[in-house]
């Protein structure tokens, strides 16, 4: 009798661990907005006056399974740009993890963004 209980508990524990290990695959995401923005950063102070520098970053908003996910990413260099195909209404392949949004470029590589907000989509 105790052996049956032990086997049953191990079976349920194995199934429970397996359900948490499932990785989400790529899904179709609709781009709401994809743009390059800048934020000001204080470089140094001259007397009592701050001297600012504008740092560019990419902000992307996509619609995924009933929610709007807003994410951002800093470019690796000054020449990096968002793909021209990422316009509002365009459908791209991607996946959403807990803190990251991965979008697939037209050449097949993935770009990782850090999620800043998640909003429930308003009923249309």
pTM > 0.85: no
Is 20 part of a structural domain of the chain? no
Whether residue 15 is contained in a domain is answered as no
Residue 2, in any domain of the structure: no
Per-residue burial over 19-54, b = 16 or more CB atoms within 10 Å of its CB, e = otherwise: eeeeeeeeeebebbebeeeeeeeeeeeeeeeeeeee
Q: Is residue 30 part of a domain?
A: yes
Instruction: Show pLDDT as tens, one digit a residue, over the chain (124 residues).
Output: 667 776 676 666 665 554 444 446 788 999 999 999 999 999 999 999 999 999 999 999 999 878 899 999 999 998 889 999 899 999 999 999 889 999 999 898 999 999 999 988 654 5
Range of the domain at 66: 25-120
Q: In this structure, is residue 8 part of a structural domain?
A: no
**Number of domains present in the structure of the chain:** 1
Q: Is residue 18 in some structural domain?
A: no
- The answer to whether residue 69 is domain-embedded is yes
Enumerate the β-bridge partners of residue 6.
Answer: none
58 within a domain of the structure (yes/no) = yes
What are phi and psi for residue 85, nearest 5 degrees? Answer: -75, -15
């Amino acid at each position: 009798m105790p052996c049956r209980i032990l086997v049953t508990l191990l079976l349920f524990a194995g199934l429970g661990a397996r359900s948490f290990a499932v990785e989400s695959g790529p899904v179709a995401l609709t781009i709401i907005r994809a743009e390059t923005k800048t934020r000001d950063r204080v470089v140094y102070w001259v007397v009592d006056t701050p001297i600012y520098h504008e740092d560019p970053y990419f902000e992307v908003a996509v619609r995924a399974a009933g929610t709007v996910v807003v994410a951002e990413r800093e470019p690796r260099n000054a020449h990096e740009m968002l793909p021209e195909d990422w316009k509002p209404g365009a459908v791209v392949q991607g996946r959403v993890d807990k803190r990251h949004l991965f979008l697939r470029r037209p050449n097949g590589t993935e770009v990782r963004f850090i999620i800043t907000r998640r909003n429930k989509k308003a009923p249309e």
